[in-house]
Amino acid sequence: MTDIAIVGMDCRFPAAPDPAALWDLLMRGEESVTEIPRSRWDADAYYDPEGGPGRSNTRHAGFIEDADAFDHEFFEFSEAEAAASDPQVRLLLQTAWRALEDATLDPRAQAGSRTGVYMGVMWSHWASLMVNHVDAVTAHSGAGSGHTMAANRISHFLDLTGPSMAIDTACSSSLVAVEQACAALRSGQCDQALAGGVNVFVTPASNVHNTQAKVSAPDGRSKPFSAHADGFGSAEGVGVLVLRRLGDALEAGLPVYAVIKGGSINHGGRSSTVTAPNPAAHQAVMGEAYERSGVTAADVAFVEAHGTGTPLGDRLEVRALGRVHGVPRDEPCALGSIKGNIGHAEGAAGIAGLIKVALALHHRVLPASRYAADESPRLRLAKNGLRLAVEPLPLHAGTVNGAVSAFGWGGTNAHLVLATAPEAAPAREGGVGDGGGVLTVSAPDAAGLRRAVSLLAADVAARSDVPLDELAWSSNQVKASGPARFALAVRDRDVALAELEKAADAVNAADAADAADAPQPERLAVGWLFPGADAWSPGMSRELHSRSPLYRRALAETDHALQPHLGWSVRDALFVAGSEETAGPVVFAVAHALGRTLADLGVVPDWTAGHGVGQYAAAVLAGELDLTDAARLVAATPDASGRADAEIEKGLDGGPTHLVEIAGALAAPLAAPHRSSRLLPPGADGDELLRLVADLYQAGLDPTWDQLYEPDRQVRHRLSPYTFATTGRFWWPPLPPTEEIAR
């Protein structure tokens, strides 16, 4: 079976706004249950410790902070559209974007890709409110609510063309969604997948239901495998994974958290009731998953159980786990359940458990089970070949396997088998030997750009173990496609940090970012101006030649074309024994090589002009003359003269232009709306190419970033994902007491 790589993730769970915070919560062994906020509903109005009709036996649950906050402008929603949209849909949009960035992918660059979207969702409180409040239904209601939009909105916004579907199998929804995504990748229906799930409470309906079904813990806390287990506590959550076939992920150089070896889905058939667990079916789905994945149960170091904390459910699950994993083995299989930390996230419970497993394999340590010290003797875990992790459990060297289960209350069960990622190549050391590059971030607007610059500064400061040029290349791959842009040419880490901190300062960032908000033409034309022989100076471009492989190759190509006609090497004349007598051919060679370098970087001119021998370079790079003929002309007329003032004026008359001066200088600065940059100014330090690329990028051009770095520098590193603004808070008006719900 084809292995599937988890290459990116993002999540929000109670007291854990991202994967790093979730991991920290798990490793500290803490929980995130709180009192139900009054911004959701009046918990006292629905509370009854006896769980009477229409009432809940708890005032506690786990809630996502700011679930109502949304950057509707970023996602191109009108205020009316955002107000009509289910918060579950909005949360998934934001989480999917951040997961792609975590995968070191530019979300905008996924447009048109065969990316599938598979989202698990269970409750739809928002849609039920509309049914009971038809006066609140608007033209946007259909596109903003219902399960289908949980997936379809993501596909539409990112222009993804793979399968797109929401999946509801109750508490197993999100794990089933991941398994369906894996199946689609293996069958070739898509080449990449976003998979996950969401669970948000807008009304007390699910809490009331769980109370009436006798599965709700009075204190709102899930206590899996505990002697004091008395039901589960509900929780909100959202999580999204980015999946690729492992071979494709490794070929693309994507970082891998963990590998999904295989999985299985089944149904419990006709158990005693439609909601009653069937341990035989649990046992079967695990056995099928191991058979399909090529992993034996004895080789599984730990299982993230469904583990809700209901006495019956835990007992039946342990029975099935013991029959599968309690085979003769050197050590008992470790057991855990994230529900002891964050609660039961219902439609997002499976993805919560899967993220925990992936992070445990990635960090090579299994967090302790929160209630391990209170293990229920009735479960007889040791007899079943199982154990709870009393403290964080280091995982052994080499390949480690883990697994995760999720069981839906309607009988749909899922089990996935995971393994540690393949060993990565040794990292290059950072520090003094860092190569140069251009750090980039972008955003839809000035405010977003200020936040992005601050995050980039923090990333560079925190990642001293990563070479600066690799961080720069990573930022080019993920952060460069927005309209408001910031770029910084870098080589020295301390200088880069100082410049980033300066740019991240509110005033300076505002100055830089506000320029991006100023009215701009859709695209500045690009003009190239090449110098004549009078631009010659001893050793010109020496530093650039030593630092830029791209320029070295271009200069060697030009030298090769000139030598048969000159009888000498322009490179020797340039760097060894040149003089004013060789100025014409040398300046032509430098000018042509610089232009060729820019072209290879994706900077294509709309027009070119040149003084003296520069006219030949301009003609070659405009496609009007081939290099061989130009070399012959340069050799014949090395002291060619003439000014290109008329051509420059004609080019500028064509519209707002960014004029790139290839060495030399204009007689006078350009007036707005034109701009100019100089590629080889006097006293150049070798980083002028980086600075020019940064300047052109900020002006709206999109360089071919890969050409700026040697292949061994093109290593992907995760950077902090985009932080969305809160452009509005969109929530259903707080509900009155019970008569409103009953209506």
Give the residue numbers annotated as catalytic, written as ranges. 171, 306, 344
Q: What is the DSSP letter of 535?
A: G
Give one DSSP letter per residue of 586-629, joined into a string.
HHHHHHHHHHHHHHHTT---SEEEESTTHHHHHHHHTTSS-HHH
How far is the CA of 195 from the CAs of 88, 120, 455, 740, in angstroms?
14, 8, 26, 36
| Rounded CA Rg of the chain | 31
166 forms beta bridges with 119
Q: What is the DSSP letter of 206?
A: H
Please tell me the distance from the alpha carbon of residue 681 to that of residue 664, in angstroms, as a whole number.
7
Residues 6+ apart with CB under 8 A from 617: 530, 588, 591, 592, 595, 610, 630, 662
Residues 6+ apart with CB under 8 A from 402: 258, 300, 301, 302, 303, 304, 357, 360, 361, 366, 417, 418, 419
Where b means 16+ CB within 10 Å and e means fewer, 663-699 reads bbeeeeeeeeebebbbbbeeebebbbbbbbbbbbbbb
Burial class from Cβ neighbours inside 10 Å (0-12, 13-18, 19+) for residue 494 reads exposed
Q: What angle do CA 488, 107, 118 make, to 5 degrees?
A: 155
Give one DSSP letter per residue of 514-526, joined into a string.
HHHHS---SS-EE
What are the structure tokens assigned to 475, written together?
């930022």
What are the structure tokens assigned to 671, written together?
């007036």
CA dihedral 443, 444, 450, 451 (to 10 degrees): -70
